[in-house]
A and B are shown apart, each in its own frame.
Chain A
Amino acid sequence: MRFHALMALRLGAVFIKPEKKIKQTTTKILFMRKKTTHLIPFIPGINTATKKALRKAFLAMLVFILPLFAFAQQQVTGKVTAQEDGSALPGVSVRIKNTNTGTATDAKGNYTITASQGSILVFSFIGYNEQEIPVTSGLRYNVSLQSVRTSLTEIIVTGQGVKREKRSLGYAVATINKEDLGDNTSPINALTGKVAGLNITSGYAPGASSRITLRGPTSFSGNNQPVFVIDGIPVSNDNIRNTDFLNDQVDYGNRGNDLNPNDIESITVLKGPAAAALYGSIASNGAILITTKKGKKNSPAQINFSTSYQLSKILKFPTFQNEFGEGNLDGIPDDRRENFSWGEKFDGKERPFGQIINGKQQLKVYEAIPNNVKDFFDPGQTFNNNLTVSGGNEKSTYFLSVGALNNKGIIPTTNYNKYSVRVSGSSEFSDKFSSQASLGYTNISSLLPLGGQTNSVYASIFQQPRDAPIVDFKDLSNPYNGTFTGADGTNYYGYYGAYTKNPYFLLQNYKNSNSVERVNGTFSLSYKPIAGLDITERIGADIYSDRRYEKAAKYSFVPFDPFYEGNNWVDNGKYSQDVTNYTQFNHDLIITYTTALTRDLNMKLLAGNNFRMTTSNNLFSATNTTGGLIVPGFYNLDNSNGPVNSTNTLSQRRLYGFYGEADFDYKNMLFLGGTIRNDVSSTLPTNNNSYVYPSVNAAFVFSELYKDKAFSDILSFGKVRVSYAKVGADAPAYRLQTTYTKTDVNGDFGEILFPINSNNATIPGFARNNRIGNPNLKPEFTSSFEVGTELSFLKNKVNLDVTYYSTKSTNQIVDVPIPNSSGFNNITLNVGEMTNKGLEIGVKATPVNTAYGLRVELYGTYSKLDNKVVDINDKLDQVAISAGISGTTAMAQVAAKGRKYGTFYGTGLAVDPASGKVIIDQATGLPLNNATNYYGSYLPDYMASFGANISYKGFMLKFLFDTKQGGVFFSNTKSLIDFGGYALETATNGRQDYVFPNSVYQDANGKYVDNTSIKFHPYDYWTNVVPAGEHIIDASYIKLREASVGYSFSQSMLRHTPFSKLTVLLYGNNLFLWVPGSNKFADPEINSQGASNVQGYEFLSNPSLRNMGIKLDVSF
């Protein structure tokens, strides 16, 4: 049985010359782009003539590749439907057992086949249980197929694309089928809450970064995310971004989100090293195996079109105070320049504000505008259109998909557009040779908002007094909002604030655009010379170019009002190009041999060779950092005022892997498997660059022992599994030497960039690179042990999957930050040991599944992770993951001995260790803020989810809640709105002096005395004293992650339409958020460092979005 599955894997393929396919895809993109808005006519009732013509054209096209088989005997017909919802199943293979005769159901699930009485019809369809019907005297046989979703004969894609029965695996895996992905513009986010142990963090804006980890971090500074594999070929999930938290922070997203979710057939999550051992180093954190949709054999053309419209709104705003308005020092509400909200209490009186322009000043009522920030944002709008065509004949299949996603962001002017095309096909062109090919193209163009400080609109709108009418600033032609030229030719601005620029002015003058073009594809050829032996050669490539263009306008405006003197609006302008070209080439030669050793004992052997080559070439060029642009409005490097700042970075790495696997299967009950892999990597020293690592796993399906007993009705399936694995990992490129680099001296602001001119000579400069290389690097290793069980109760109505795992990572290759007094900033070392111990529970139950069509499926996950940094080395107790945010705060994130990875470490309030109370300065009443403390980690203590899929005939309702409990995050939004007096907490005690709660002071004898009388002034505390540690907040949350309600029209209702399927769906994701009361600031899921290891820094990042949409899905 098991080996049948393996053979089925070698899908045949249409052998189409690649060039031809590419041409075709190009045409399709153009078509898609132009026609995006005209795809609406496919909706039923509108323009059926066009629709029919199109369909005919497709069918005509297919005549060429659709051979017809017919043998005249007895005409048998029938209809095949899905047991679940009664919907017609097109493309179901209908064969006469033990013959080559077969056909497939048409678009409406109907089939016609010629069969003789006594023969057996076999109905098979991917994702459904095979069913056999004997042909008797009747001429019509309607069949209802049962979905395999609850069945434990599930076929799973494992390492190197090998398909295996789930029951045979000695380690935990999870598969998410397309129906369960939901409607999400991100294929990564779509997995949230669906797999125990999977931790995803994202802001949910289209194109935004998503971080994904499995079973916790294993490496201090390596990539802790699983490898992404599309149709057997590893692809990039890079998240290239600058590490500057403070300024010019743009989230350009990560490459794992490039794939169109509509192209996904299923996603298999290999959670641990055991599952992923065959992929080698890149899979030391697990693997996300994506299988794209394919055409089905013996299926006429299936045309599917879906269109959706989605609205997005910010999920969580900070809670502002609405008591005190514009002003400084608890007064001066008529300070014309002020953007602080440290003014007097609101009194509802009309007051002038802002500049006096030509003798006139604006008036505003001194009262709070509670939604002034919220109203600034637009609703985000996303159109998503997808068209797929697929089919196949006896020997070959084809699949084509085009998708267009067009988004307008919540920040006016921003957008994100993604177009994708995927073609794939398979062919068996002889009984021994078969091949398959798949090629995807993605084109992304976007205009993205700036985060962080300086010129980001977030920094501007969050720093407006509570009575500032922000939306009224939109009209930049109004002199009080925008800029104008005076009679004397002077360029003036008339905006009210001296310290912030008008957010609409910023939007007009700062643009960050991104364009990504990506092609990835795989081609494989299989040769089966003798029974049981399969030789497959698979090559794949992932190629993209990522171009980023950042523009800052050159302008110089002085305030009109002399009162504002010195507060000019000046920018010298900027233009930069940041171009990365990435190529990953991958080859695998895999030989498998399967044989039955005895009647009950089967064996499969696999040997493979892998070569992987990754090249990344970045060219960054920018106009002179201080000189900026010469001519305003001309964005070109030729317009640089001073030398162009340019860097090129080439990164190249290569790796050979040799691997083998042996699997034994005794009576389909006891399974034993093992793998071994040897990697040889270019990034390690030649004497240390070859490393070997093994894995073993065993599974025992103990329910086989009592298969036919009554007990099996209660415990219908039972399996225990155990595995051990080790995976090695190599270093980043170029870590072996200490080098010299072109001199670039940077400070708090400003820089000196060599070569420089001095005494009429050009002086070049090189400086010691501040990272110390290490010629003695060794590979790092992660070993993992897991035990688990899979149990099904009550005839598979309740399924339980429990896993306990323990991983240990050693010899980690880390750029260890070291004190600058060493003369350097970091050193590459093998250090440390980190462990993860965890429990994962997955439950799925179908309590209701009635004959009249009501089906209720409930599912949930729970995972607990206990991560610990066991050791660094004899000289170090901790290494920084991030060195902290320089300048404004002092909060680092560290891997510290005895603590969790990702622990925050930085300045905070000094505390008397005896009483735990905050120590205040007796002279000021203010707390001392000079302590360095640990503040917990961003890693949650546990995660859980609960979801339900309810269907009744054509109706369906789905929802999913998920939660993370126990982590913390750093909120710079809190820091900023505290500073400006906008946050609710700044209005504590009516802004009167008060005693710092639970505080002590040191008396003359050095003793700590409870402070009951020395008061401090809130303004001093919030504008200056409050240390970084006070901006660490509980990151726990519960979210309504997904919800949808839909209706699929029944076959009978569609009888007189050209549609075989029509579904209308209302859906939403990231819908509601519940957080602890202490978090009045931000969604803990947003993060300024995207998908990097540095998590939990919310630094005026793009806010997370609540998305709601309507979708129409039709098949012809």
Chain B
Amino acid sequence: MKTNIKSLILLSAFLFSSAGCKKLLDVNTDPNNALDAPVEVLLPSAETGLTFAVGNTLTINGGIWSQYWTQSPTSSQYKSLDQYAPAQGDFGNVWFNIEVDALENFQKVIDKGNATNKKQYVAIAMLLKAYAFQLSTDLWGDVPFSEALQGDATTQILNPKYDSQSDIYNGLVKLVDDATKLINPDEPVPGNDDLIYQGDMEKWLRFANTLKLRIGLRLAKKDAARAATIVKSLAGADFIQPGEPALQNFNSTGGQQNPLYGAIAGTVLNTTQNLVASSTAVDFFNVNNDPRLFAFYDPINTGNVVGIPQGSFNAPPTTTVSPPSAATSGNAKDANSALAPVKLMTDYEASFLQAEAVVRGWLSGDAEELYNAGITYSFDAYHVDGAADYMAQPAIAFPAGGSAEEKIKAIITQKWAAMCGNQTIEAWSEWRRTGYPSFFVISKGSIIGAGRWPGIFLYPSSELTRNPNAPKANHFVYDKVWWAN
């Protein structure tokens, strides 16, 4: 007995004190996460981070502030947008989607692609990085750019400084130019892991040109000379071709659905129809006999598409209101909404951009032809017939004899119509830049005072509370970004 116990003590002393300390302690390699990942799995993640941001919060905010949609009187989720009084907390997730889900992973594709000589991955990532940074500066104004995305760099920057929007725009142009130089379809290219163009580098080249055109024209009012230089450098370039929009498709499987529908159908909103047709848009389509109305909205039981005045959610409903159509991902009752793509840039947008560049004299071409092409491609995208009849109407026809401003008004107004439901945030940016469409109304729900429009996103709490380089005070929602001033 005694010896047994003695040996037990000795054994345990041996086991725990003297046996290989080091080996026993070697348990700190993370078993829950991978230590490395190749560009082939990072690119689709980053692309999805971007399309999620665009298709989720931004489609909602853009949809309401571009007056395609308004808050349904029978629910309340997006009231604050129609009140023009969002909380800064409302911008935290979309900021995270853009900065972390999208941009950081594009940066990783760039770093790793350069290291492993996968230049076409690098090119795509740089283009989408430029796209995402433009999105972020267009929405928030001054944002971190030159020092952003360097949290894990050797020269670690944890609190990036805020760059002026003007400087960021210079950086965007350089990013797109550098990416364009890398594009070479003869090199190994991505396949299905590129969720947007499946590695078709010819399409990416045209995407690059269109993006640069978008970047250039955004400065047209604020800094015409700079805008002209950017746009003129695109002389002779090809832009996004008909039927080749840059978009990501989704499917009906839970967790793979269109990000707006995924939100609506998810456990919190439980298919509540918060977004309904705004009469601002419905009236426009009706007045102009625009058959796309039924592509963008679903009729109520009378067979008509019915909208309510923007922001009239407080008025007791006198009728049922049309929901957005499944093609725009916003119909809570139509599961096909899950299949709607998220569009980053479209063929019709490319046409309208070119038309404007031509009107401004920065690109050569026929503005009217490009204008008509834009409308036609939009009809085609939704399989709607009657573009020719539509364009034949005097109110719609290109004002070939009008002033440059009248032409631009027509172009941007038609671009707004074409972007209904699917490129809502871009339409809002173009409205902020040009003031078109000119028939927006101040939301009836506004509580920010007469004559004020929403013009900028509020910085998220995460930036204001964590980044000492962030502005000390947040924007007012009715402030404007630099290029809109």
Question: Which residues of A are at the interface with B, using a C-beta cutoff of 8 A?
Answer: 247, 328-329, 332, 335, 337, 429-430, 433, 454, 498-499, 525, 527, 535, 537, 539, 552, 562-572, 574, 587, 589, 609, 611, 624-628, 641-643, 645, 648-650, 652-654, 656, 680-683, 686, 689, 733-734, 736-741, 743, 745-754, 756-759, 761, 763-770, 772, 816-825, 827, 875-880, 883-890, 892, 894, 905-907, 921, 923-924, 926, 930-932, 1020, 1024-1025, 1027-1028
- 14 A–B contacts, CB within 8 A, in A order: A566-B75, A626-B262, A748-B57, A754-B48, A765-B45, A766-B37, A767-B46, A767-B105, A818-B159, A820-B463, A822-B158, A822-B159, A822-B160, A823-B99
Closest-CB distance, A656 to chain B (whole angstroms): 6
The reply to whether B52 and A822 form a contact with Cβ atoms under 8 Å apart is: no
Q: Say how far B395's CB is from chain A's closest CB, in angstroms.
A: 33
Evaluate whether A752 and B259 lie within 8 angstroms (CB atoms) in the complex, with A682-B27, A825-B96 already known.
yes
Q: Which chain B residue lies CB-closest to A556?
A: B271
Name, among A429, A816, A879, A884, the residue most crowded by chain B CB atoms within 10 Å (CB to CB). A884
**Are B259 and A747 closer than 8 Å at their CB atoms?**
yes
List 11 extra interface pairs beyond A680-B21, A820-B100, A823-B107, CB under 8 A: A552-B267, A562-B320, A624-B253, A750-B266, A819-B160, A824-B104, A824-B151, A883-B462, A884-B461, A923-B450, A924-B449
In the complex, A886 Cα to B87 Cα: how many Å? 10
Contact A737 B467 (CB under 8 A): no
Closest to B333 in A: A568
A822 and B266 contacting across the interface, CB-CB below 8 Å = no
Most buried by A among B31, B452, B468: B31
Whether the pair B80, A1024 counts as a contact (CB closer than 8 A) is yes
Does B347 have its Cβ within 8 Å of any Cβ on chain A?
no
Once A680-B21, A824-B100 are accepted as A-B contacts, the answer to whether A625 and B255 lie under 8 Å apart by CB is: yes
**Contact partners of A563 in chain B: CB under 8 A:** 317
Query: Does B88 sit at the interface, judged by CB under 8 A?
Result: yes
In the complex, the chain A residue whose C-beta lies closest to that of B253 is A642
Enumerate chain B residues within 8 angstroms of A818, measured Cβ to Cβ: 151, 158-159, 466-467
Interface pick from B141-149, B278-286, B386-394: B141-149
Question: Which single residue of chain B is at the shortest CB-CB distance from A733?
Answer: B28
On whether the beta carbons of B466 and A887 are closer than 8 Å, the reply is no
How would residues 21 to 65 of chain B score, 1 for a CB under 8 Å from any chain A CB and 0 otherwise? 110111111111111110001101110110011001100000000
CB of B58 to closest CB in A, whole Å: 10
Contact check, A890 vs B100: say whether CB atoms are below 8 A apart.
no
Q: Which residues of A contact B264 (CB under 8 A)?
A: 749-750
Name the CB-closest residue of A to B95. A820
User: Chain A residues near B257 (CB, 8 Å)?
Assistant: 626, 750
CA A591 to CA B263, docked complex, whole Å: 62
- Kindly list the 9 A-B residue pairs having the minimum CB-CB distance in the complex, ordered from nearest: A627-B254, A923-B449, A750-B263, A642-B254, A823-B104, A750-B262, A739-B33, A822-B151, A624-B254
B33: chain A residues at CB < 8 Å are: 734, 739-741, 769
Q: Tell me, yes or no, whether B193 is within 8 Å of chain A by CB.
A: yes
Closest Cβ–Cβ distance, residue B28 to chain A (whole Å):
5
A589 neighbours in B (Cβ, 8 Å) = 9, 12-13, 16-17
A626 nearest CB neighbor, chain B only:
B254
| B94 interface residue (CB < 8 Å to A) | yes
Which residue from chain B places its CB closest to the CB of A740 in the assembled complex?
Answer: B37
B447 in the interface, Cβ–Cβ < 8 Å? yes
B270 at the interface (CB under 8 A from A): yes
Partner of B267, one of A572, A680, A681, A752: A572
In the complex, which residues of chain A have a beta carbon less than 8 angstroms from the beta carbon of B143?
821
Q: Which residue of B lies closest to A609 (CB)?
A: B17
Question: Do B57 and A758 have beta carbons less than 8 Å apart?
Answer: no
Cβ of B142 to closest chain A Cβ, rounded Å: 11
Q: Are B90 and A906 in contact (CB-based, < 8 A)?
A: no
Chain A residues whose C-beta falls within 8 Å of the C-beta of B191 in the assembled complex: 761
CA distance A883 to B95 in the complex (A): 14
Cα–Cα distance between A892 and B88 once the two chains are bound (Å): 12
Is A683 a contact of B41 with CB atoms below 8 Å?
no
Contact status B75-A499, CB under 8 Å: yes
Q: Would you give the shortest CB distance from A895 to chain B, in whole angstroms?
A: 12
Total A-B residue pairs with C-beta atoms closer than 8 Å? 399
CB A735 to nearest CB in B, in angstroms, measures 9
Q: Is B368 an interface residue (CB 8 A)?
A: no
Asked if B150 lies at the interface with its beta carbon under 8 angstroms from chain A, I say yes
Q: Which residues of A contact B24 (CB under 8 A)?
A: 654, 682
Cβ-defined contact, B253 with A766, below 8 A: no
Is B76's CB within 8 Å of the partner chain A? yes
Q: Is the CB of A745 within 8 A of B271?
A: no
Q: A921-B449, A932-B474 are in contact. Are A743 and B461 (CB under 8 A)?
A: no
* Contact string against A for B residues 248-262, beta-carbon threshold 8 Å, 1 for contact and 0 otherwise: 110101111101111
* A763-B195, A765-B45, A823-B104 known; A609+B57 contact, CB < 8 A: no
Is B273 interfacial (CB-CB < 8 Å)?
A: yes
Alpha-carbon distance between A564 and B316 when the two chains are bound, in angstroms: 11
Q: Which residue of chain B has the shortest Cβ distance to A887 in the bound complex?
A: B89
Q: Given A567-B75, A767-B42, is A740 in contact with B34 using a C-beta cutoff of 8 Å?
A: yes
- Chain B residues whose CB sits within 8 angstroms of the CB of A827 once the complex forms: 151, 158
When distances are taken between beta carbons in the complex, the residues of chain B under 8 Å from A1025 are 85, 447
The contact of A737 among B27, B30, B48, by CB within 8 Å, is B30
- Contact indicator B151/A763 (Cβ below 8 Å): no
Contact A454 B255 (CB under 8 A): no
With CB as the reference atom, state the residue of chain B lying closest to A429.
B1
Write out, one digit per residue, whether chain B residues 61-98 have a CB within 8 A of any chain A CB (1) or not (0).
00000000000101110011001010111101111110
| Cβ-closest chain B residue relative to A618 | B32
The answer to whether A572 and B265 have CB atoms under 8 Å apart is: yes
Q: Inside 8 A of A905's CB, which chain B residues have their CB?
A: 465
User: Complex formed: what's the CA distance from A570 to B271 in Å?
Assistant: 7
Is B476 in the interface zone, CB < 8 Å from A? yes
Q: Which residues of A contact B251 (CB under 8 A)?
A: 756-757
- Give the most central of B2, B31, B256: most A CB within 10 Å: B256
- 8 Å CB contact of B476 from A653, A686, A765, A930: A930
- Measured CA separation A500–B9 after assembly (Å): 65
- Shortest Cβ gap from B128 to chain A (Å): 14
> Which chain A residues lie closer than 8 Å to B158 at the CB level?
816, 818-819, 822, 827, 875-876
**With A and B bound together, what is the CA distance between A888 and B448 in angstroms?**
19
Whether A328 contacts B42 by the Cβ 8 Å rule is no
Determine how close the nearest CB of chain A comes to the CB of B57; give it in whole angstroms: 6
Residues of B within 8 A of A1028 (CB): 87, 89
**In contact, B263 and A748 (Cβ under 8 angstroms):** yes
Tell me if B198 counts as interface (CB < 8 A to partner A).
yes
User: B234 contacts the other chain (Cβ, under 8 Å)?
Assistant: no
Q: B189: CB under 8 A from chain A?
A: no
Q: Is the CB of B48 within 8 A of A875?
A: no
How near does chain A come to B330, taking the closest CB pair, in angstroms? 13
Asked if residues B463 and A337 are in contact (CB atoms below 8 Å), the reply is no
**Cα of A748 to Cα of B2 in the assembled complex, Å:** 67
Q: Do B17 and A737 touch across chains, with their CB atoms under 8 A apart?
A: no
CA distance A433 to B3 in the complex (A): 11
| Inter-chain contacts of B5 with A (CB < 8 A) | 433, 525, 527
Q: Which residues of B contact A769 (CB under 8 A)?
A: 33
CA distance A97 to B231 in the complex (A): 107
Of B83, B100, B473, the most chain A CB neighbours within 10 A belong to B100
With A567-B74, A889-B87, A930-B476 known to touch, is A752 a contact of B256 (CB < 8 Å)? yes
* Complex: A570 Cα to B335 Cα, angstroms: 14
B268 interface residue per 8 A CB criterion: yes
Which B residues are CB-close (under 8 A) to A823?
99-100, 103-104, 107, 148-152
Chain A residues near B235 (CB-CB < 8 A): none
| Measured CA separation A332–B317 after assembly (Å) | 12
Say yes or no: A894 contacts B465, CB within 8 Å: yes
Q: Which residue of B lies closest to A685 (CB)?
A: B28
Cβ contacts under 8 Å, A652 to chain B: 27, 31
Closest B-chain residue to A829, C-beta based? B158
Query: In the complex, what residues of B have CB within 8 A of residue A757's CB?
Result: 251, 253, 256
Of all chain A residues, the one with the shortest Cβ separation from B259 is: A750
Cβ of B425 to closest chain A Cβ, rounded Å: 14
Q: Is the CB of B94 within 8 A of A645?
A: no
